[in-house]
Amino acid sequence: MADLGENVVRLSATLQAKNDEAQEFETERKFQEFKWQKQLDLDQQMRAVEPGQAAGFAERYVAETYKPEADEFFQSVPDKFKGKYGLKLFGAEQDFYGSAATFARGEQKRFAVASLEDAVKGRLAKTGDLEGAKAEYDELLRAAIADGHITPIEADETRRKHSEDIEYNNAEWRYESGAGLEELLRDVTESGDTRAAIEHHSDGMATVTTGSGASFRVSGDAADRFAGALADFEAEGLEIKPEQSGGYNPRNI
């Protein structure tokens, strides 16, 4: 009888272990199915986001889609597995939030930069007040930073690119609107921190000085174009060193 009792206890324990194993397997299967469905929901919702409407997307997805259904799933988990699957559900929530936040961040940046580019090619280019257009662009840039659409580092990179675009597009618009080429050359030469300063002399010559302090003495008639060439060089990253510039060598070179 004692042996029979021990055998019954062992059999009962074995059957319970098998039952627990089967329950855990089924719970894991349902969890993976639930997690896959939430991934599909996230993908579908990301595709449905309208341009410029991604702010708060990650928070909305977690609060409105994931958590209510995760709580419902958790209630179906057997008590003995609730601790384990509570952690699994929280880990999945973190993963989904990270993916949704990365998507929202990228879309916000894309939309902000595209809006700035539209402004640069549109109304900011079509004005007789170039400095005013640049000031308005800076306001748009600060607003994009304040809204969290781009970081200060990204704003600096974007501003460097668009500063040249504003000048180019404005010059193109003014030329098509009837502005003279000499007027445009003069404005481009005299505007911006990287443009060379021109000092005309009574003898018909002129001194062209770059932002780095390098000086060149040239014909007054060619000073505007020469200053523009220097500005182009500097815009391309060429460092014009004062100690290596402005010399004169009277030989055929």
pLDDT tens for 69-116 read: 999 999 999 998 889 999 999 999 999 999 999 999 999 999 998 988
What pLDDT is recorded for position 185? 62
What pLDDT is recorded for position 153? 87
Does 142 have pLDDT greater than 50? yes
From the centroid of its chain, how far is CA 79?
Answer: 46
Contact 213, 173 (CB under 8 A): no
What pLDDT is recorded for position 253? 65
Long-range CB contact pairs, 50-56, < 8 A, 24+: 51/107, 51/111, 52/111, 52/115, 54/103, 54/104, 54/107, 54/108, 54/111, 55/104, 55/108, 55/147, 55/148, 56/104
Average pLDDT over residues 28-32: 92
> Does this model's pTM top 0.85?
no
pLDDT-wise least confident of 3-17, 52-66, 81-95, 109-123: 3-17
Long-range CB contact pairs, 182-191, < 8 A, 24+: 182/224, 185/224, 185/225, 185/228, 186/224, 187/130, 188/228, 188/231, 189/224, 189/227, 189/228, 189/231, 191/130, 191/131, 191/167
Average pLDDT over residues 142-151: 88
Greatest Cα-to-Cα distance within the chain, rounded to the nearest angstrom: 128
Integer Cα distance of 38 and 96 in angstroms = 8
